[in-house]
Amino acid sequence: MPKKRLLWWARHLFVPHHTNNCKAKILHPSALSILVGFFLFYQFILNFYLLVSPSVLGFASDIAPERVVEITNQKRAEQGLNPLTVNGQLNEAAQRKAGDMFAFNYWSHVSPSGRSPWSFFQEVGYKYLFAGENLARDFMNSDAVVSAWMNSPTHRDNILNGNYKEIGLAVVNGTLNGVETTLVVQVFGAPISSPVAQKPATTVKPTLTPTPVLVTPTPVEQQTAAAVQVPPVEEQIPLARVALAQASQEVTSPPLLSPFLLTKTIAVFLLGLILGALLLDIILVYQKKIIRLSGRNVAHLIFIGGLLLAVILTTPGAIL
């Protein structure tokens, strides 16, 4: 009967018995090779499917720009720093940077053509003394994004940089390297908005009127994860603050099949299957007093258990 046949296969695969040479069949090299082959075949099919249907597989996220700014300012407040003000020009610069990464299919501070982040500042007319940029992708929520940045020394330095006064943010969905994803671009700036300083020049005749000497502030670029020096520019023309509510309309992705979560689920299932078989094998061999000429089940149990724990603790998301 089918039920008896099913029970026989279950015993054959997981229980030491004379039909499997007193060792669970799933722990035999031939069976392990089949499992590895299955996982490799899955990876091949996944990569092929990403090429033909990139819109189906992707990363679903729910990131609110205003929340990212709020958490960023909370981290600054904890260090006694002033909050950053949202700047419309910086919002636009961040949007353009995200669009450029999608358009030219790259994940870097500098584009393949050599275009730096600061060119987008110049495009929108933002004149600055200090500037910085943080990038993130494939995170599930706003808190996870900022947490990852704070755990990276260079990104943390950007967030906690006292020279920065303003912030811009863009959260944009698109296709990168054939996969639907969400990019987060966070930019910082300190605008050139102070009046030009003047001081009188000293002369040998005190009766003469001092000649004013124009002193132009010298821009000094903050060394951050991505920063460059630019020549001095005129005073910034202020723009009206742009609300982040408009940007948040592009934030929530529709539910998608995430390649990362699919791969993680299959890996956890296969490793859990092997781990369970090893544990059951150890218990039954001990109970039945089965003597083997070879076998290191305890060592294998620790190794597979470590792999399984590492896979479970793996989280999506990347920063730059």
229 located within any domain: yes
Please indicate, yes or no, whether residues 45 and 78 belong to a single structural domain of this protein: no
Instruction: For residue 33, tell me if it sits in a domain.
Output: yes
- Reported as a pLDDT band with limits 50, 70 and 90, residue 196 is very low
Domain encompassing residue 9: 2-54+257-319
Same-domain check for residues 85 and 125: yes
* Domain edge (last residue) among 248, 276, 307: 248
The last residue of one of the domains, among 248, 279, 310, is 248
Residues 210 and 305 in one domain: no
Q: 113 and 214, same structural domain?
A: yes
User: Which residues, in sequence order, are bridge partners of residue 319?
Assistant: 136
**Phi/psi at 135 (5° precision):** -125, 150
Question: Is 293 within a domain?
Answer: yes
- Residue that is last in its domain, among 248, 271, 290: 248
Is 59 within a domain? no
How far is Cα 114 from Cα 107, in angstroms, rounded to an integer?
Answer: 13
Query: pTM of this prediction?
Result: 0.62
Looking at the fold, whether 270 and 132 belong to one and the same domain comes out as no
What total of structural domains would you count in the chain? 2
On whether the CB atoms of residues 26 and 273 are closer than 8 A, the answer is: yes
Chain segment 2-61, per-residue pLDDT in tens? 778 888 888 878 888 777 777 888 888 888 899 989 988 988 887 777 666 655 555 556
Does residue 60 form part of some domain?
A: no
Q: Name which of 66, 62, 317, 320 is nearest 170 in CA terms.
A: 66
Instruction: Kindly give, in sequence order, each residue whose CB lies less than 8 Å from that of residue 259, ignoring residues fewer than 6 positions away.
Output: 46, 50, 57, 58, 179
Cβ-Cβ contacts under 8 Å for 245 (sequence gap 6 or more): 66
Give the CATH number of the domain where residue 196 resides: 3.40.33.10
* Cβ atoms of residues 147 and 74 within 8 Å: no
Whether 150 has a pLDDT exceeding 90, the answer reads yes
Residue 250 has pLDDT above 50, yes or no: no
State the greatest distance between any 2 C-alpha atoms of the chain, in Å, as a whole number. Answer: 118
Closest to 278 in 3D by CA, of 23, 20, 1: 23
